[in-house]
Every structure is written in structure tokens, then in C-alpha cells.
Amino acid sequence: MPELPEVETLRRSLEHDLVGRTVARVDIRRRDVVVAPGDPEGGFSRSRSDRPPVRIKPPWMLRGLTIARLTRRGKQMAVEADTDRGAPALVIQLGMTGTVRSLDDRIRYPAHTHVVWTLENGRRFAFIDPRRFGGVRALPGGTRDAWAALGPDALTVRGDEFTARLARTRRAVKAALLDQAVVAGVGNIYADEALFASKIHPETIAAGIPRDAAIRLASNIRRILRDAIGRGGSTIKDYRNSDGEPGGFQAAHQVYGRGGRPCPRCGTILTPSRVAQRATVACGSCQAREPA
């Protein structure tokens, strides 16, 4: 569900409540949303049953440690603890439906509450994820290795680096934008929005995009993500920040979710399609397949 602006909005709303606090207790209610050192390699939704999961050592989940900062790379958020043994971290990947929420004092947990952290001040925070495409990765040695595979953060990616990375692949440019190793943070909504703003058709071969068009695309990605963060992200169905507030950027979407309606730029009916197995909307008239 969430892309970079939603993750950043969540990070900011959690930062205030978590930084400087000590984790008093951790309840793992579903072990299979957690990846710990020694677990089979791979993601959260795959290879869960290959062999039994390792036993979690308490500090892996930050129990007893003080939270020093919340960081983000692309769509991944990390809760980092500063200790003299290094900087243990938890990387939280939200997948399609994951979130982190502050829990009130109700007795029952919300549905699909998989991990609960209780702070020394009594406040509780939960990782909640109905579809379980997301998860929590325990990184006792910090985020460095885990984040090495991610491309540059989309919010700050430099035009020349972005251009060089696009030039390396002959996939559809939208597929390249969705690849977190190319650039980290762009998902289905903002890929369509940025391509529309840049007048580039999603199926254009990435490597064939001229340098000036690629530079413009990078600039539009940064601008759109920044604007979306400014409005608290996009709430399509159920995205909420940690306090339960929806975002407002969905009102600014030009193409996402608007297939069959007129192009806001030229009036041509926007065409829905599938690119890289994802629902895609573009204007067949003003988004060029072969940018000049």
C-alpha cells in the first residue's frame, strides 16, 4: 500500500513518540512476519516454511534498548537504537497493507496485529498488516547491509545518477521505476503520476529515454513525492498515519485511478492498461512512447 510519501509521513508521526524512549516489552504474535538473523534468506511472504525459524533473542527486537532515531530508505523504515555494541535496528517493510499504529488502552488488539512494542512510559505501538506482504526485519548489526541493495532514495535522487540507471535497462520505464534497486521509493501511484507529469508513456523502453527527458522525470519524481509528503500522502482505501489520520494527496492525482476519464492536460480519454503486472493509467495522446 504505502509508497515513499506514506512511509515518510508515518515515520514523521512516529518519530515524536518513539525517539528517546526505551522498549520495555515486545510481543510477537505472529512469528512469520519477523525475519531474524539465521532465518532462511528471503522476504516475508516467501520461504516461511522451509525450516523452523530461529529463536528470537530479545535485543534483536530492541527490547531493553533506547530508540535513537527513525530513518527511511525508499519505502523501508528503520527504528534504530544507539548502543555501544553498534546500532541494532528494526527495518519495517509495510508491503501493501502494513502500518504501525499507536494503540490506545482497549483490551482487544485490532485485527492482524502481529507485533506489539511497549515502551517504558506504557505506550504501545503495533505492526498491523492484514495481507502480511510486509514484515519486520531484525538487524542487530544495523541497516547497512539490508539497504545496500536499494537504489538511491527517490526523494533526493540526482538527475544524472537516475539517468545512468535508466540507461542500463531495456524494460518499460514504469517497470524500472517500480524496481527498488533502480530507485527506492516509487510505487504504482507515483510512477504513473510522475510519468504523466513528464509526458512519457509508461511502456517506453527505459534505456531509450533521452537524457533531458530522464532528467525531467527525476525532477518530477522528487517534486511529486515532496508534494505528497506535504499533504500527508495518498489514502486510496485504508492508509493512515500512526494517529489514524488519512492523507490528502489522492485529490491531486492526475491519472492514477482515473482510467476512462478525460486527460487533465489534453482531454483525451485516459487509457487503463497493465504494465509490469500493475494497473496503469496513461494518456495515449500526450504521453509519448518515444520522447523526442
Partner DNA sequence: CTGGTCTCCTGATCGC
Partner DNA sequence: TGCGATCAGGAGACCA
Does the footprint of DNA cover residue 9 (CB under 7 A)? no
d(CA 255, CA 71): 30
Does the footprint of DNA cover residue 202 (CB under 7 A)? no
Q: Which is nearer to DNA, 119 or 275 (CB)?
A: 275
Residues 6+ apart with CB under 8 A from 177: 183, 186, 191, 194, 195, 221
Q: Which is nearer to DNA, 2 or 88 (CB)?
A: 2
d(CA 120, CA 68): 15
Q: Which is nearer to DNA, 189 or 218 (CB)?
A: 189
Find the binding residues for DNA in span 55-94 (CB under 7 A).
74-76, 93
Segment interacting with DNA, rule: CB under 7 A, options 14-22, 45-53, 55-63, 84-92: 45-53
User: Of 12, 30, 278, 289, which is the active-site residue?
Assistant: 278
How many CB atoms neighbour CB 86 within 10 A?
Answer: 12
Angular region, 131: left φ>0, alpha ψ -120 to 50, beta rest: alpha
Q: Which is nearer to DNA, 43 or 64 (CB)?
A: 43
Segment interacting with DNA, rule: CB under 7 A, options 56-64, 129-137, 154-162, 220-228: 129-137
6 is catalytic: no
d(CA 15, CA 56): 25
Alpha helix segments (H runs only) across the chain: 4-18, 144-148, 159-166, 173-178, 188-197, 211-230
278 is catalytic: yes
Identify the bridge partners of residue 69 per DSSP, sorted by sequence position. 80
75 is catalytic: yes
Residue from 66, 83, 169, 285 in contact with DNA (CB under 7 A): 169
Q: What is the largest CA-CA distance in the chain?
A: 61
Contact residues: DNA, CB under 7 A: 1-3, 6, 41-43, 45-47, 74-76, 93, 95-97, 111-112, 130-133, 168-172, 175, 178, 180, 187-189, 233-239, 247, 276-279
Q: Which residues are catalytic?
A: 2-3, 75, 278
